[in-house]
Structure 1
Amino acid sequence: MAMNFKVLENKEQVAVYTADILRKQFNNNPTTIAGIHLSHEYAPVLDELKKNVDRHAVDFSQINILDYDDNRSFYDALGVPEGQIYEISFDDDAESFIDEKIKTKENKGKLITQVASISDEGKTDVSVRQGLQKAREVILVITGAEKKEAVKRLYEENGKTNFEPADLKTHRMVNVVLDEAAAEGLPEDVKHYFTAHFA
């Protein structure tokens, strides 16, 4: 169980970093099933993903995307086959959805990556229990000073409150990618550590 914070200077750097992780995931595991839901996020992750893929080609022929934000045209342009882009809602159980619609011999029906964010009020884009906990890895993208209180709660709370994002502390691998503005919610020494050692 690990929640790793990475603090970058601004939302553009957060977008570049997140896009790079995603592109490498697609390259390293060509049968990836990934959920992407960034409707509460200002970092231009998808724009950077397109630029990254234009520079470093990716074979999307076996990639499946859970499209929480109705971005079908984007994934289509990226090269994901039309039949492998699935509209899914906040409340859908990701595991059941995959079993019903996506499971193949190659990908074994495993949700590999979920990329999500939280709102200014600290609500997740994807249900923690129905969506995020089901993924092998979660990337939580959080930018902007208006989210610093949500970041503070995410860091401080232990998952036994009504603040659902804190439940992710029980997940085996969560990467929280922050800009400096959102990271103001972290204690100063923690913010410095995750900036100096991992940025």
Structure 2
Amino acid sequence: MAMNFKIFESKEVADLYLADLMRKQIHNNPESILAVDTHEELSAAYEKFVGEVKNHPADLSEVQVYAVGKDGLDIFKKLDLPSSQIYTGGTAEDLDNKGKKKVNVAVLNLNNNKKVGFNNDNDDLFKAKEMFIYATGSNSSEVVRALYEAPLDGGSNLSDIKNHRMVTVIIDTDAAADLDSDIVDYYTYKFA
């Protein structure tokens, strides 16, 4: 288990950080398989990611992008990826039915209802080599606290996240509002 919180002063800085992580993943592994949550909360981060890739070109010839949720992958078409590399089905079955290798990175929005990923089957997502969990705004503070305090043996999505081998939780100070101040101080991150 390696869950690491990164707390940023604003949503915009959190978006930039997530965009940079995604760009570096593709740069370091041109055969990356990304499972990306299509929740609208992530749209600004994805816009910044596309901008990052345009400013710092990367080999996208083997990159595969899978939707986690309905709609919302149009932004990735701005990367000029062939349609054969973008999978828009948005269900666990779509991800499973492609006969693909293991997901390198799952980018997931942490919802107020303590859900991430698919509504029913997150097995392939939770088997990803790395997970980026994203939450911003004061309406997310309660679920962020619940993730931080989730028991390791709880059998919930939050416990599954906490048990994953490599998780980066990307939040802003508003989403961190229900965490103890010493925790916030420890995990606050400056990103230039």
**Quick check: TM above 0.5?**
yes
Whole-angstrom CA distance in 1 between matches of 2:187 and 2:91: 30
CA RMSD of aligned residues (A): 2.1
**Counterpart of 2:169 in 1: which secondary structure?**
strand
**Counterpart of 1:45 in 2: which secondary structure?**
helix
Whole-angstrom CA distance in 2 between matches of 1:188 and 1:86: 41
Equivalent runs, 1:177-192 vs 2, <5 Å? 177-192=170-185
Aligned residue in 1 for 2:138: 145
Q: Are the counterparts in 1 of residues 103 and 124 from structure 2 also a CA contact under 8 Å?
A: no
**Counterpart of 1:185 in 2: which secondary structure?**
coil
Aligned residue in 1 for 2:129: 136
* Runs of 5+ consecutive residues of structure 2 not aligned to the other structure: none
Aligned residue in 1 for 2:103: 111
Instruction: Give aligned pairs, total.
Output: 189
Cα drift, residue 186 of structure 1: 1.8
C-alpha change, 1:145 and 1:18, in structure 2 (3 Å) is: same
Whole-angstrom CA distance in 2 between matches of 1:67 and 1:115: 10
Q: Are the counterparts in 2 of residues 39 and 125 from structure 1 also a CA contact under 8 Å?
A: no
Aligned residue in 1 for 2:14: 14
Matched to 2:134, the amino acid is V
* Runs of 5+ consecutive residues of structure 1 not aligned to the other structure: 104-108
C-alpha change, 1:53 and 1:97, in structure 2 (3 Å) is: same
Q: Under a length normalisation based on structure 1, what TM-score does the superposition of the two structures give?
A: 0.85
Matched to 1:70, the amino acid is D
**Counterpart of 2:131 in 1: which secondary structure?**
strand
Cα drift, residue 132 of structure 1: 2.4
Q: Percent identity?
A: 32
Q: Are the counterparts in 1 of residues 114 and 158 from structure 2 also a CA contact under 8 Å?
A: yes
Whole-angstrom CA distance in 1 between matches of 2:108 and 2:33: 14
Q: Under a length normalisation based on structure 2, what TM-score does the superposition of the two structures give?
A: 0.88
Matched to 2:75, the amino acid is F
C-alpha change, 1:155 and 1:189, in structure 2 (3 Å) is: same
Aligned residue in 1 for 2:113: 121
